[in-house]
Amino acid sequence: MAHATQVGLQDATSPIMEELITFHDHALMIIFLICFLVLYALFLTLTTKLTNTNISDAQEMETVWTILPAIILVLIALPSLRILYMTDEVNDPSLTIKSIGHQWYWTYEYTDYGGLIFNSYMLPPLFLEPGDLRLLDVDNRVVLPIEAPIRMMITSQDVLHSWAVPTLGLKTDAIPGRLNQTTFTATRPGVYYGQCSEICGANHSFMPIVLELIPLKIFEMGPVFTL
Amino acid sequence: MLATRVFSLVGKRAISTSVCVRAHESVVKSEDFSLPAYMDRRDHPLPEVAHVKHLSASQKALKEKEKASWSSLSMDEKVESLCFLLHKCGFGEKWLNVAEEGAADLCACKWLSSLPPVYRIKFKESFAEMNRGSNEWKTVVGGAMFFIGFTALVIMWQKHYVYGPLPQSFDKEWVAKQTKRMLDMKVNPIQGLASKWDYEKNEWKK
């Protein structure tokens, strides 16, 4: 989860998110360079003493400032596509969980080895204990094992929602009548938070997602989701 | 029109330059924009007309003297004569170049406060005069700071009369317990919150 005044990305909990953080640093650096260049040019424009208004035919300069942005775009596109294809790699998930969005809660179905289905509602403010995370904590968390590829099948039962967990680099729309798939592998145990990311009505801000990632040995011991 | 007259009284150009200009009718003499007009512009050094259209007697006399040989001019008159000025600057008969800022600075700077009358016939302001700074920035900055301060007052009023209380989770004890919980969960242990906590000594890292 983010702390109160956080601006940057949360620390990564999956290898894809680590890649995304590096890519973000790379793209942001390019953005800063371009912005600085433009600000500098603007400053020069505002403080120049020159008054020639008949400048034309600067073919060499025009060629450069066409080719150079094209190169910059390629330098952004290549790492981006690399990560995009990385997310689609064949990884043979160990577990498949279904996540169904409702107004205004999530339903999770663990049907690989049995039939576990439960709802996950945000804890109302009156039900919070001191120290709980307001607007983030839920009654039933999604308990999953670490270091195992997990497939999430995401859909919705009514309107559009979006299932997002920033620290895993996940955000997948929940669309009624459609099954969207996303996979991830968590590298460290912990409790990870996300919030519904597609406007879905009055309580759109009040249907969070909470994943509890635990070691596989403990996960295998059976239903442990209301500890 | 009367309102803009008021502004001319303040006219140290401490407020909007364009408003002050409107108050000074000498600048806005001609309303017919299809006729050639005089203007003091840095990027338009040679206006279509001279500044003074109707020469006085002394001005006419000076012009006649200028046409004759310059050796007949006294030293003062040489200083006053525009053409001689140009010749001294090495631009010969090319009086066009007087408008180049470089030349103006080079030669006219010495005569800044007392530019020769011949110059003043052709031009209203020298380059140095037309490019001078103003006090407008003080008004702008002061106005901006005033309105920011006013906004602060509005926000204080809102906080007191409009907004409800903050949720429980903003209480100090709650935040303390919450932070402890986040540290126990090792939230963002690589570069974020938990990375700043020393788990051995049970305190924030120095």
SS3 assignment, position B35:
coil
Question: Within an 8 Å CB–CB cutoff, is residue B190 touching chain A?
Answer: yes
Tokens of A49: 């003493």
Does the pLDDT of residue A166 top 90, yes or no?
yes
Q: What is the DSSP string of A128-165?
A: PPTT--TTT-BSS-EEEETTS-EEEEEEESSS-EEEEE
Q: Which of A122-131, B7-16, B95-104, B126-135 has the lowest mean pLDDT?
A: B95-104
Contact: B192, A131; criterion CB under 8 Å: no
Residue B29, pLDDT score = 58
Contact: A128, B169; criterion CB under 8 Å: yes
Residues of B in contact with A132 (CB under 8 A): 169, 178, 181
Q: Taking residues A101-110, what's their average pLDDT?
A: 96
A226: confidence class by pLDDT, cuts 50, 70, 90:
very low
Q: Taking residues A192-197, what's their average pLDDT?
A: 97
B102: confidence class by pLDDT, cuts 50, 70, 90:
very low
pLDDT digits (tens, 9 = 90+) for A13-43: 999 999 999 999 999 999 999 999 999 999 9
Contact yes or no for A158/A175 (Cβ under 8 A): no
Contact: A11, B43; criterion CB under 8 Å: no
Residues of B in contact with A49 (CB under 8 A): 101
Chain A residues in contact with chain B using a Cβ-Cβ cutoff of 8 Å = 1, 3, 6, 10-12, 49, 51, 53, 125, 128, 130-134, 188, 190-191
Does the pLDDT of residue B18 top 90, yes or no?
no
Contact yes or no for A154/A183 (Cβ under 8 A): no
Q: Taking residues A60-87, what's their average pLDDT?
A: 97
Q: Taking residues A102-114, what's their average pLDDT?
A: 94
Q: Taking residues A100-113, what's their average pLDDT?
A: 95
Kindly list the structural domains of chain A, giving each domain's residue range(s) and its CATH number in brackets, ordered by start. Answer: 15-88 (1.10.287.90), 95-221 (2.60.40.420)
Q: Taking residues B84-99, what's their average pLDDT?
A: 46
- Whether the CA torsion A51, A56, A58, A63 is positive or negative: it is positive
SS3 assignment, position B60:
helix
Residues of A in contact with B169 (CB under 8 A): 125, 128, 132-134
Residue B109, pLDDT score = 41
Reference A164, options A148, A184, A146; nearest CA is A184
Residue B96, pLDDT score = 40
Does the pLDDT of residue B76 top 70, yes or no?
no
SS3 assignment, position B27:
coil
B55: confidence class by pLDDT, cuts 50, 70, 90:
confident
Contact: A191, B185; criterion CB under 8 Å: yes
pLDDT digits (tens, 9 = 90+) for A53-63: 888 899 999 99
Hey, how many other C-beta atoms are within 10 angstroms of the C-beta on B47? 17
Residues β-bridged to residue A195: A208
A190 vs B177, B186, B191: nearest CB: B186
Exposed/middle/buried for residue B85 (C-beta within 10 Å: 0-12, 13-18, 19+): buried
Contact: B178, A6; criterion CB under 8 Å: no
Instruction: Please identify which residue in the block is written with the tokens 């939230």.
Output: B187
Contact yes or no for B92/B79 (Cβ under 8 A): no
B21: confidence class by pLDDT, cuts 50, 70, 90:
low
**What is the rounded CA–CA span in Å between residue A162 and residue A166?**
12
Tokens of A192: 């990870």
Tokens of B44: 């338009």
B 27-66 → A contacts, CB under 8 A: 42-43
pLDDT digits (tens, 9 = 90+) for B106-158: 444 444 446 777 788 888 898 889 989 999 999 999 999 999 999 999 999 99
Q: What residue type is assigned to position B33 of the chain?
A: F
A134 vs B167, B187, B190: nearest CB: B167
Reference A99, options A33, A43, A183; nearest CA is A183
B42 vs A3, A51, A130: nearest CB: A51
**What is the rounded CA–CA span in Å between residue B138 and residue B150?**
18
Q: Which of B127, B183, B188, B204 to mutate to test the interface with A (most CBs of A within 10 A)?
A: B188
- Whether the CA torsion B119, B120, B124, B128 is positive or negative: it is positive
What pTM, to 2 d.p., does this model score?
0.77
**What is the nearest CA distance from B184 to chain A, expressed in angstroms?**
10
Residue B99, pLDDT score = 42
Contact yes or no for A186/A14 (Cβ under 8 A): yes
**What is the rounded CA–CA span in Å between residue A52 and residue A32?**
31
Q: Taking residues B176-190, what's their average pLDDT?
A: 95
Contact: A11, B190; criterion CB under 8 Å: yes
Contact: A10, B188; criterion CB under 8 Å: yes
Instruction: Spell out the SS3 assignment of B91-133.
Output: CCCCHHHHHCHHHHHHHHHHHHHHCCHHHHHHCCCCHHHHCCC
Residue A53, pLDDT score = 83
B 104-163 → A contacts, CB under 8 A: none
A51 vs B43, B168, B177: nearest CB: B43
**Which of B96 and B31 is assigned the larger pLDDT?**
B31
**What is the nearest CA distance from A193 to chain B, expressed in angstroms?**
10
Does the pLDDT of residue A135 top 90, yes or no?
yes
Does the pLDDT of residue A4 top 70, yes or no?
yes
Question: Within an 8 Å CB–CB cutoff, is residue B188 touching chain A?
Answer: yes
Does the pLDDT of residue B23 top 60, yes or no?
no
